[in-house]
Amino acid sequence: MIKIRVISDGSSGKEHESGLTRYVLPAVPQAVLQRHGARVLRPAEAAVAKGWPKPNPTIYRYGVLLVPRRLLDSATIVTLNRVLTDVGMRLVRPDATDDQPATSDDDLDAKLPVAVELGVAGTFKPQAVDAWTALQRLRAEVTALREACDSGASTDTAALESLAGVVDAISLDHLLVGSATDGSSSTIVTGTNTASNGNPDLNNLFDRPAAGTSGRIPVTVALADPGQIYMGQNASRRPVVAVLDTGIACDPEHPWLTPRVERGANGHEDAVVIVDTELQKQLEAEHVGERLLSIASYADEPSIEEPLLGDLSTHAGHGTFIAGLIRQLAPGAQIYAVRVMQPDGFAPGSDVVNALKKIAYRVRRAQSGQADGQAVDVVSLSLGYFDESADERNVTIALEPVLRELTELGVTVVAAAGNFATSRKFLPAALTEKLTDKAAAPMISVGSLNPNGSTSRFSNEAPWVTCYASGAAIVSTFPAFAGAQNAPARTGRRESFDPDDFASMFGVWSGTSFAAPVIAGLVAARLHDEAGRHDRDQNSAARVAAAHAAWENVLKDAR
């Protein structure tokens, strides 16, 4: 039985507030950092501009900064590059940007930052290209101008206000990590606690469900295919849950996740999974910086991270597992599978924001009756990051506005609370503190419960966690992947249990990654009978009311 626990008085995590000491991030393998062009920001080593807060650890892409599109005019870039010259860096203005500030008929697009590449300035200087260093140099310039104006050495307050406004809007491109535990068979054996492994607990062999040395294990199920149930009697379509993750099993397709169709194709009405090749190609084409593995395909692959070792990647199968949970809990819903995460469990924040922005655009098009739109009722996010400081002025500059846009359109957003056993804010889940407008659909952050109803030891727990749901030792769909571990004993066709052969296409896994889609599926199920009824309403009030009613109905039966 699925379990839910809701903290109605906001007390969850209060006992931990005075001890937010879990600031040390688990180790991130160098191969992962290199793959994503990323670094760990280490407070003891980080340069900090005068007047700005000392950072806490975070993971960021060193070759890019996030700059609002409206600021990408040539004059602004020239000003910023003049400041950056003395640290040997420059912002490489995107080729597609005209001399005038970029505009769009999409209002959201104008609000959001885009990734802008950093390069070496002029004559090469022995200075590594680094986004944090560049950001601190820009902030230092603002501080110097402010001090000059305050002392009377300068009267150019207009220049100060202009530069301060620009620099305040620039931020790091954080690397988001998925929230499944013990994804790698080698993680527990070596004792290395990687970011994709969750809570760094040396006793994890005993604290988590395990077969041999893997927390993600194959199982056989005797359950029938959930089937595609009837469309709701007052519905014009099926409820749709967008899953931004590692993609969907394709070769072979999972029998519980078929039929699969392209967005807008014939037969769309009764599909279980909707994929969007056009969107995937756009996300790949618009990615800034190097990437070793493309996301132009929606397929949940490859399964093996290092062919010479053969271990399954930590988050291979992650998106398929999430899709299966939604399928079980909302068998009449459709899953809109959007690939943003690599099988190693990481995704650039700029890619995630770009995907959310494009989904919001498709939702608006659908609500205005356009054939190229795509209705979405719930967004499920099982990934996140720690910001470098609670005092940062703009750390949520990208995620907050796009999630606000979605909720204002009537889309419920459900986010995993994270697996680091901390009350430190994990974004986007911690945005529940800000996205509380009753005139918008709910944003829900979800921690994990064990099968007995207790809070999972790995789960984050804090006042910003909305609720807790079953997330440990939970069963769902999995691609037919097979890793390098063999059955310990084999004779002919007889063998002992093979802990990483998923030929059964089902598995057991744990993490707040899976508690979040439990809630997303339950909400979608409550929308089933009247899905799409208010799609064409000119204002979103009815859609927002339906979203709140669905969530309230889940809470009435919190079992």
Phi, psi for 482 (deg, rounded to 5) = -140, 130
Question: Distance of CA 271 to CAs 111, 263, 333, Å?
Answer: 34, 10, 9
Q: Which of 109, 130, 207, 245 is catalytic?
A: 245
Q: What's the rounded Cα separation, in Å, for the pair 385 and 397?
A: 14
* Cα distance between residue 167 and residue 142, in whole Å: 8
> Residues 552, 555, 557, 559: what is their CA dihedral angle, to the nearest 10 degrees?
160
Residue 318 annotated among the catalytic residues of the structure = yes
Which one from 36, 315, 318, 534 is the annotated catalytic residue? 318
Give the three-state DSSP class for 393.
coil
254 contacts 244 by C-beta, under 8 angstroms: no
User: Which of the residues 513, 528, 535, 540 is marked catalytic?
Assistant: 513
515, 510, 509: which is closest to 465 by C-alpha? 515
Q: Read off the tokens for 139.
A: 């902030």
Query: Is 16 tagged catalytic?
Result: no
Identify the three-state secondary structure at position 260. strand
- Cβ(129)–Cβ(119) under 8 Å? yes
Helix (H, G, I), strand (E, B) or coil at 32: helix
512-527 and 318-329 helices cross at what angle (nearest 10)?
A: 40
User: Is 151 one of the annotated active-site residues of the chain?
Assistant: no
d(CA 127, CA 544): 51
Helix, strand, coil in percent for the chain, rounding step 5? 30, 20, 50
**Residues assigned a catalytic role:** 245, 318, 513
